[in-house]
Chains A and B, each alone.
Chain A
Amino acid sequence: MREAVKKIIAATYRKKDLKWFLVWITGIGIVWMWDSWMLNSPSLIQIEYAFIHTIFISVLSVIFSLLIGWALAITLHFTENSRFRHWYLALTFLSNVLRSIPQIIGVLLGYAVLTVFIEKEILEQDIWKMIWMACVLTGFIFLEFTDLLRERIRFFQKSDFYPAMLVSGIRESRIVQYDILWKNSLIHIVNKLIAIFGIAIFLQCSVDFIISVGLSADVSSLNFPATLGSMLAKMDSKKDILAVGYSLTNPFYIPRLFMLHLQGITTAFLIVFTLFSIYKVNTEFSKRFHL
């Protein structure tokens, strides 16, 4: 038993991406335990919901990016040298235009549309609002995934195995989707999806924080599902973060941060620690597979 545990620990240590994933989970677990003890129950419940919503929206963005990115990459590949080349040119042009719109601008305009939907009571349930938020985020991050797939297809097209399989009578669709993307690019795909997950969390928190000033006179951040960004934008959390600044000049105040200012400190910690851990998982994953 002891040997088995030792083996698992050794394997986890070698797989540093897995190690960082465990560090993330453990870190969040420790913070949750501390908060259960020290933070008032309503705030804790809000933070729990905010964290779950944030992760849920980001996971949805990853799934949507996978689906849309894959569909676009395949469409571009098969229309490039076909009689539908005009579609290829149009799609490439539109993709490039979309790429040139800074993500935050696009996402913000998408949220402005969401406020209109809320005002007109088209979207009332939180689940649909979250799906819309994920769709908006996807619209401005999925191209990274498409670019990766296109790059992988081009890379294998240059090698001998592509024409060899073609002359063997295997369908091009199967070569591209199964042999190139699924069998030979899965690690690259997973790596990119981890990165997209990080970008989605960052963008979502930023936009939710920004819209705390309100994108409409009738709709405020209260009408949106609670996320880490909107939690941080609350006045209590802002005061807690300001206390960090105060403790820089008054170091004896630092211990009180972890007892009196837990709502803001926990929210900020969850955002920064999650972004850092995802970055580490992503980079260690690339190193482990020599990407």
Chain B
Amino acid sequence: MKQKLVEHAYSVLFVGLLLVILSFILHVTGRSELGTPDPLIQKLSEIKVLRPEHPLHRTLLLESLRTYYPHQNMNTDSLIDAVIAWRRQEVLADIDASRKAAGMSFSKFGELLSMYGSFVFVFIVVMFLIYYGAQTLGLFQFVVDKRRRPSLWQSLYISGRVFFSKASKAQRKSALKNMAVITVRAMAKTLFYIMVFSPAYVMAYSFKTNFETDSMLFLIFLGTFTNGVLITFMYKFYVLLNVESRKGYVETAVAKSLSRDYHAINNRQIFAPLKRFPDHVLEHIFIHTRYQYLGSIKEQGSTVITGLIIVEMALNIQGHLGYELLKNILYRNWDVVLIIVFGIFLLVKMTETAADVLMEYESNKYENRNNA
């Protein structure tokens, strides 16, 4: 355990050092170089009261140029357009320079810290929701498989056959009701799949007309249910459950009179935050699977962060860390970019350390290392 902690500390030091070196290399401030314009353009652009975009000013300028330079064969319209373009470039260069000069300061650091705090909060909530959701949905799928009920298509086919047969009116009515229920369930399942496989931005833009999309609640919803994060970890848990259920101790437990009747498991037990299945073999399968799943928490952390950053960046949620990162890459404010990257790296490392500590604690418990 100590070795792992030391390794995490070294990683943080290494990345910190790397980013400091990078910040020295990338430290570029100051006004963008614009070059020198034509002397006449420069002369005209220096007249502060002149606004060549305004039709009146433009006409006056045209007349003046024709009066002052009557013998010169010049395209006065193009010249005025060039003055407008030059002034625009000057303004853009000033904005660019001010953005770069705005780089890192104490107030900026405070702002970043506040954004980081809300990012960490959302991250923790989403982590817990996915941890719970992956286990619950994985378990639900596992129990449904074990019950060996016909699939939705098979059920629809069976009910359809009854409905179109010469069965009694009551039986046909019941079959029709079944078909309606199955169709609704199939539609709900399809919508669920569309939602969990959609990248967050597709989902968010679909909802944008209907909900307040900038709220933290919406961010948590997107972080949890989109980008395929939930389904990935649900499947991981489901695979672990299947592997565990094939192990020898399960047969031994059944021989020792533990139940393996999956019809006896109800949905309330599956969806409960603390899942208990007393006198059932699933209790032990679940405990062992949950222990193995702890190893996936590190991966889950990194994936959740990726998902949240995608949400914040893609939806341009201002005042959030992801958007701030993107904005500062655009403005080439590398100091701010590197600080945000380091903050995110620290969060990943803290998650990994927490996962290692939890794994160690659970290993001590299940492998009886304390008694050794």
Contacts from A to B (Cβ < 8 Å)? 93, 96-97, 99-105, 108-109, 112, 202, 205-206, 209-210, 213-217, 232, 238, 241-242, 244-246, 248-249, 268, 271-272, 275-276, 279, 283, 286
Contact = CB atoms under 8 A, between A and B. Distances in A.
29 contacts: A93-B10, A97-B15, A100-B348, A100-B349, A101-B348, A102-B302, A103-B306, A104-B305, A104-B306, A104-B309, A105-B306, A105-B341, A108-B313, A108-B329, A206-B314, A210-B326, A214-B330, A215-B330, A216-B330, A217-B92, A232-B201, A242-B205, A244-B206, A245-B209, A246-B209, A271-B202, A272-B199, A275-B199, A283-B235
A290 B231 CA distance: 20
A93 B198 contact: no
Interface residues of B, number: 43
B193 interface: yes
A111 B302 CA distance: 20
Main secondary structure of the interface of B (DSSP, over half): helix
Contacts of B209: 242, 245-246, 249
B7 interface: yes
Nearest to B347: A102
B283 to A, nearest CB: 25
Interface in B326-357: 326, 329-330, 341, 344-345, 348-349, 352
10 nearest A-B pairs in the assembled complex, by CB-CB distance: A245-B209, A241-B205, A104-B306, A244-B206, A102-B305, A276-B197, A210-B313, A102-B306, A100-B348, A206-B310
Nearest to A210: B313
A202 B199 contact: yes
A279 B206 CA distance: 23
Contact of A100 (B201, B302, B313): B302
A191 B194 CA distance: 23
A206 B308 CA distance: 12
Contacts of A249: 209-210
A247 B251 CA distance: 53
B302 to A, nearest CB: 5
Contact of B11 (A97, A202, A248, A283): A97
A151 to B, nearest CB: 12
A279 B199 contact: no
Interface in B176-197: 193-194, 197
